[in-house]
Structure 1
Amino acid sequence: MDRNTFTGLFLMLLTIVGSVYLLRPSEEEIKREQLLQDSIARAKSVSAQVADTQSNESASLDTTQTIAAQDSVAATGPFGAAKNGTERTITLENELIKVNITNKGGRIESVELKDEVDYQGNPLVMFEGDQNTFGLQFSTAGVNVNTNDLYFEAPNQRIQVNEGDSSSVSLRLNYGGGKYIDYIYSLKGNSYQVGLNIVTKGMQDVVAPTQTSLLLNWSASLSQKEKDLSNEQRYASVYYRTAEEDVENLSTGKDDKEEIGKTQWVSFKQHFFSNTLIADQFFEGGTVEVKIVPDANVVKSYSTNLNLAFARQDVNNYPLRFYFGPNKYSTLKNQNLALEQQVDLGWGPMKWINRFITLPVFNVLEDFNLGYGLIILVLTILLKLILSPLSYKSYVSMAKMRVLKPEMDEIKAKVGDDNPTLLQQEYLKLYKQAGVNPMGGCIPMLLQMPFTIAFFFFFPNLFELRGQSFLWMNDLSTYDAIVTFKPIFGIGHISLMVVLMTLATLLSTWYNNSVSGVTGQMKYIGYFMPLIFLFVLNSFPSGLTYYYFLSTVFTFGQQFTIRQFINDEKIHAKIQEHKKKPETKKKKSGFQKRMEDYMRQQQAAAKQGGNATKTGGAKKK
């Protein structure tokens, strides 16, 4: 590179650097440019937002117009005007119940029993809110209608009904052109029944021609009202009365569904309360269903679909009634509908004992205002006094067997254990000579068993015990927990009364073993049952376990007292005198004949077995 070239390049570089330095903007010019760019950016953002807003408003307008169009179509359909409305509540109440009726569906929204509370002390509400549905279902103009979803025309009012008075309120579902469905509710003073008269006017031209009946759907999920949910579920189910006046029920221990024929009433029964729908002209069949639901504090879910015969005439009238009240036997019986058969008083003889003996005596004692703890005490004493002749006879018979035991042991030593048939024959001879009936101690005990078992059904289903306290037991209708803990194998508490009952039974068993001379394995078998009941009865009502405790104590007292009047030596002397008497032929009882036939068959079988053994042995030789 020569000097001229270098000089030219250097001058060009200086020119470029100088231009950049001399032409650069000042700080003020840079700020003005920044403000200009920011203004342009803001303007673009506002423009975009305006465009988005206009787009959204346009979309919203389109949606609103679409919904409006749909509502317009719905409003012109069957009962279109009733598909939207404002919910209002009408209240009917008397001294016993408070009934809230909503114009949405025209159904009873909730029922409160004024004199009752739940296990937490809150007002007792049979059901409420969306937990229940009630409505007519039918088809018209190709559309399925459910009145439970429609709004009725109804006044917004509260009506108090006093004893001796009655009042009613009418709700109307308008179809138009003088065609409608009316729900007319009525309530009398001092009554658990709510009347419901359903009237259809001009609906013969609305209901599809193929329909011969309207379907009445009623469903409810009933909440927990007692302390022990599992025990409450044990007694809860759907009950119904057929046209033949038979009261039937679905399973209480599992989900169940059944088709029913002509029916007078259907009841959603809990342990101590019932919601019952009654038809004066019978339902024309349908279905009933009950389900155990996993939801906390819900006893069960109930539902029924019932057919109401629909005549093709201008007016159809369906007189119905509800019963919302306690499962108190006398209260249910006063309804004159056989509702009292929902109360489980047992089966067979136990049912008749409770119905015709225990209940009448209980009602008489109740009139004395003794308190239910004392009533159970008196009832137990009366029962023991009535059954004392049987108890005495049973104990005397056991005393005779105890006296004969030494002679029986001698027979057993002579005959041996390898020939049970001969041993039983020798025992029967001894019984016959001594004039002792080996079943004499069992028969009186068996005769007492129905009374003992009858109380097992009576006390758990006795509404009168609900909420009644005695001593430390706050509620005789449920268990008395003195200790609660985290559940182990389903047990989360210990009942004091069950513990006392178990101790009393063990003491009584020990005493019986000591005076009867029981030995061997039989000596210990009697101790197992009380220990089993300690767990089985732990969650049962304290009123029941209190009765069993009293019964055990009085039985022990009876045995101890009778023992003082029974002399084993005198009994032994009488047996020996009876042996000396000449044998007289008496007509044999059926039991004796069967025993003798059985012994002969056993003896013949033993001989055949012996002969076969001998023959087999001879052949081998």
Structure 2
Amino acid sequence: MQQEKKFDFNQIIAFVLMGLLLFGVMYWNTPSDEELEKQKQELVQKEKQEKAKEQQNVQIAQNIFQPIAAQEAKDVEVSNAKMNVKFAAKGGQIDAVQLVDFTAYEKGKKDAPLYLAKDGSNSLNFTFKTKAGVEVNTKDLIFVPSVEKNSANSIVTMTAQSQGGQIQYIYTIGDSYGIDLEIKSQGLSNLTTDKEVLLSWKMDGFSTEKGKDQEKYWSHTYFQFKNSNDLEYELFGSDTWEEEEPISWVANKQQFFSTVLSSEEGFKNGKGGSQNSEKEDENFSKHYFFTSDIELKNAELNHKLTFDFLPLEYNMLKEYNDKGFQNLIDFGWGIFGGLNKYFFLYVFKILANFGIQYGWVIFLMTIVVKLILSPIMYKQYRQSALMKVLKPELNEINEKYKDSKDAMKKQQATMEIYRNAGVNPLAGCLPALLQIPIFYALFRFFPNLIDLRGKPFLFAGDLTAFDDLIKIPEWIPVLDGHLSIFAMLYVVAMLVYFKVSGSMDNFQMPQQEGMPNMEFMKYMMYIMPIFFFVFLNNYASGLSWYYLVSNTINIGIVLYIKKVMINESKIHEILAKNKAKPKKEGKFASRMQDMMKKAQEMQEQQQQTKKNKK
């Protein structure tokens, strides 16, 4: 016999004592205000000491190299048709890169100059230790520049002279987005016994787009293994990676631009990644970092690198080189990427050649897609109409077999109605499934198509960002202080489509055993528009415009099919013809019937056994 549980007062006392003990430990271990202030001062003092030590180390390292006169230690600027580049005397590195043909979005300013590097945001450093154990970082050294120009190239040589040797960076700029860099040293063996130096590349990615959240989402690091065409990357948020296998190039990718560092020999023991900037920081989208070991050859630095500061335009990148930079554009994987690269992009480019606004290009592209999908839509609606006409017969079956014991009989009777009418209840799902790849591919297409960047249309100032003509208070959650008109119109069009297509009527069908709960699906149809609005409100307005046009065309197609191609009398004729046809039962259907009969027999046996036991 089960004993009755009684209230145990001792347990309450034990819990109270444990709580008091825990509170006492926390109280006695909490430092006082004086102790907290002391710890703070100690931390500040420690930081000052570390900074002073670092500065002292920098000074010692600089003293190893010859002092440079102020007039010699100057920055230099070089330009070609595509970019303006500034080289800094300190560190001898690329300090600023402006892309001439592009502008950036800044708050309240649409056409600001677009910089991929500026004011120390790009830092390339080589680290080694002297024989005395002093760490030398080339980013702290002062380089003397010299510029040589010929008909094809501009050559900038940055030289840091040491006691008995030198380090040189030789930059070559042609007419492309690339900058070749040759690192050479002489007499480095007089300074160090290291067998390799540490390459360290850090870069702050400037925020150049209106849609800041989307820009961060699409920004991350890519890299490619040497002798491989496959790209490696982490898509969501911050990423960190470490590889022993040689890497041919690493890219700091932003939404529409990328800075790529390549090595002819490959980067060994590469470590890299990115970190998201703070949400309130609108100057940067990501902070990138990369390190690699560079072997010294005959105790000297002798290595060739290439910087590419690229706009991510697919066709241009395909012809740019054979390194596969076009794959930096995240059009999606597998079939989704294939649809975007070989269909949507192709159609878009053809239509754009007419010289019309890009918004109308999207409009025409939508029509092309709808014409291709119209046979699928016809089959989907035809199936829906057939099911609707069969509803009274299905209701009768549902009423006849109310008892749960008759579930199998109800299922058999329902399948018999479908078989006699020549209707497949699952056939309507296939057209919808075929449209999913297109639906998903477009989520990747519009936010990554640089052609649409900064292009206005109707309510949108930029088809790759949200339209924010309607402002709302910032404190309203999720909506980020605006309402997208395109997104709202799309939701209206979606609801109208549900109404005219009879999508809601499908969820009034009798509940069949083993089928999804139609009442739940009905509620989902009401929730979907809310979900899509919240998502599209902060997404590329080009996508919202495409879906708006698509749904509007869908409404027209359904009304045409409904009023002209298919009506209720025609549906009855189709069903009558199907019922009159001799039924050829396939092997699969026959097996299903046998299985259902056996299942019914087993169910009846189980019910009879239960009755006999009683």
TM score, norm. by length of structure 2: 0.81
Q: What pairs up with 1:373-388 in 2 under 5 angstroms?
A: 373-388=359-374
Which of 190, 200, 206 is 1:217 aligned to?
A: 200
Structure 1 85/150 Cα, relative in aligned 2: closer, same or farther at 3 Å?
farther
**Retained in 2: the 8 A contact 1:193–1:323?**
yes
CA distance in 2 between partners of 1:308 and 1:216 (Å): 7
**1:350 equivalent in alignment to 2:333:** no
- Equivalences for residues 416-435 of structure 1 within 5 A: 416=402, 418=404, 419-435=406-422
Match of 1:511 among 485, 490, 500: 500
Q: Tell me, yes or no, if the aligned pair for 1:273 and 1:325 is still in contact at 8 Å.
A: yes
SS at structure 2 position matched to 1:416: coil
The one-letter code sitting in structure 2 at the alignment partner of 1:233 is K
Q: Secondary structure at the match of 2:145?
A: coil
Query: 106, 115, 129: which is aligned to 1:125?
Result: 115
- Aligned residue in 2 for 1:114: 100
The answer on 1:468 being equivalent to 2:446 is no
2:578 partner letter = H
The residue identity in structure 2 corresponding to 1:576 is A
Show the counterpart of 2:36.
none
Residues 256 and 289 in structure 1, CA contact (< 8 A), matched pair in contact too: yes
Alpha-carbon displacement from aligned partner over 1:263-301 (angstroms, at most 9, x marks no partner): 111111111111111112211231002112326122111
1:498 aligns with 2:487: yes
* Contact 2:243 2:271 (8 Å CA) reproduced: yes
Aligned partner of 2:135 in structure 1 is 144
CA distance in 2, matches of 1:511, 1:517: 12
Please give the alpha-carbon distance, in whole angstroms, between the structure 2 residues aligned to 1:413 and 1:73. Answer: 92
Name the CA shift for 1:558/1:410 in 2 (closer, same or farther; >3 Å). Answer: same
Pick aligned residue for 1:300 from 286, 291, 296: 286
Aligned partner of 1:459 in structure 2 is 446
SS in 2 for 1:536: helix
Distance 1:171 1:279 in 2: 20
Pairwise CA distance, 1:399? 1.6
Shift of residue 74 of structure 1? 3.3
Give the corresponding residue for 2:582. Answer: 582
CA distance in 1, matches of 2:445, 2:591: 37
Rounded to whole Å, the distance in 2 between the matches of 1:72 and 1:329 is 44
Are 1:271 and 2:259 matched, yes or no? no
Q: Which amino acid aligns with 2:603?
A: A
Structure 1 residue 346: deviation in Å? Answer: 1.8
8 Å CA contact retained: 1:250, 1:290: no
Instruction: Give the number of aligned pairs.
Output: 537
CA distance in structure 1 between the partners assigned to 2:210 and 2:64 by the alignment: 47
* Match of residue 227, structure 1, among 207, 210, 225: 210
Aligned identity (percent) is: 33
Q: Secondary structure at the match of 1:380?
A: helix
Deviation by residue 1:73-118 (Cα, 9 ceiling, x = unmatched) = 9389643647999741111111110010011101101111111111
Shift in alpha-carbon separation, 1:258–1:478, aligned structure 2, 3 A: same
Alignment correspondent of 1:253: 237
Who is 2:383 aligned against? 397
Contact 1:456-1:544 at 8 Å conserved across structures? yes
The separation in 2 between residues aligned to 1:605 and 1:219, in whole angstroms, is: 71
RMSD (Å), alpha carbons: 2.8
When residues 81 and 375 of structure 1 are mapped into structure 2, their CA distance, relative to the original with a 3 A threshold, is: same
Deviations 1:28-64 (CA, angstroms, capped at 9, x unpaired): xxxxxxxxxxxxxxxxxxxxxxxxxxxxxxxxxxxxx
Distance 1:598 1:106 in 2: 79
What is the deviation of 1:153? Answer: 2.0
Question: Partner residue of 1:312?
Answer: 298
Cα distance in 1, alignment partners of residues 598 and 73 from structure 2: 83
Q: For 1:422-571, list aligned pairs within 5 A.
A: 422-487=409-474, 488-491=476-479, 492-513=481-502, 516=505, 518-519=507-508, 521=519, 523-564=522-563, 565-571=565-571
Alpha-carbon separation, structure 2, partners of 1:348 and 1:234:
20
Q: Deviations over 1:464-506 (max 9, x none)?
A: 1111011232111111112223321132110000010011111
Q: 2:359 and 2:319 mapped to 1: Cα distance?
A: 26
Is contact 1:78–1:140 with CA below 8 Å preserved after alignment? Answer: no
Aligned to 1:57: none
Q: Distance in 2 between matches of 1:341 and 1:455?
A: 17
Give the direction of change, closer, same or farther, for the CA distance of 1:229–1:601 in structure 2 (3 Å limit).
farther
Q: Which amino acid aligns with 2:260?
A: T
Inter-partner Cα distance in structure 2 for 1:204 and 1:595: 82
Letter in 2 for 1:490: V
TM-superposed CA distance for 1:307, in Å, is 2.2
| 1:408-463 deviations in Å (ceiling 9; x for gaps) | 11111112252333322221122112211112211112112211221111011111
Between the aligned partners of 2:181 and 2:371, the Cα distance in structure 1 is 51
Instruction: Determine if contact 2:259/2:308 at 8 Å carries over to the other structure.
Output: yes
Q: Aligned in 2, Cα 1:286/1:85: closer, same or farther, shift over 3 Å?
A: farther
Residue in 1 that maps onto 2:611: 614
* SS, match of residue 180 in structure 1: strand
Q: Report what 1:52 is aligned to.
A: none
Give structure 1 stretches of 5+ with no counterpart: 1-66
Q: Distance in 1 between matches of 2:478 and 2:595?
A: 47
Q: For the Cα contact (< 8 Å) 1:74–1:80, is it kept in 2? A: no
Question: 1:355-376 CA deviation, whole Å, 9 max, x = no partner?
Answer: 1111112122222222211110
Cα distance between partner residues in 2 of 1:350 and 1:71: 53
Q: 1:607 to 1:72 in 2, by over 3 A?
A: closer
Structure 1 counterpart of 2:500, one-letter code: Y
Contact 1:106/1:171, CA 8 A, preserved across alignment: yes
Q: Could you list the per-position Cα deviations for residues 143-191 of structure 1 after superposition, in whole angstroms to 9, with x for gaps in the alignment?
A: 2211011011223x6x888xx72121111122233x22210111112x1
Could you tell me which residue of structure 2 aligns to residue 153 of structure 1? 144
1:224 counterpart letter in structure 2:
S
| Contact residue 238 and residue 250 of structure 1 kept, 8 A | yes
- Aligned partners of 1:601, 1:254: CA distance in 2, in Å? 56
Which residue in the other structure is 2:193 paired with? 208
**Matches of 2:423 and 2:59, distance apart in 1:** 93
> In the aligned structure 2, how far is the partner of 1:426 from the partner of 1:257?
59
Q: Deviation digits for residues 300-351 of structure 1, max 9, x if unmatched?
A: 11110022232225x6532211111212222322222211212111233111
What is the match of residue 268 of structure 2?
284
Q: Which residue of 2 aligns with 1:359?
A: 345
Q: State the structure with more CA Rg.
A: 1
Task: Provide the residue aligned with 1:45 in structure 2.
Answer: none
Secondary structure at the counterpart of residue 539 of structure 2: coil
Aligned pair partner of 2:396 in 410, 418, 422: 410
The aligned residue for residue 316 of structure 2 is 331
Q: What is the rounded CA distance, in whole Å, between the counterparts of 1:217 and 1:146 in structure 2?
A: 10
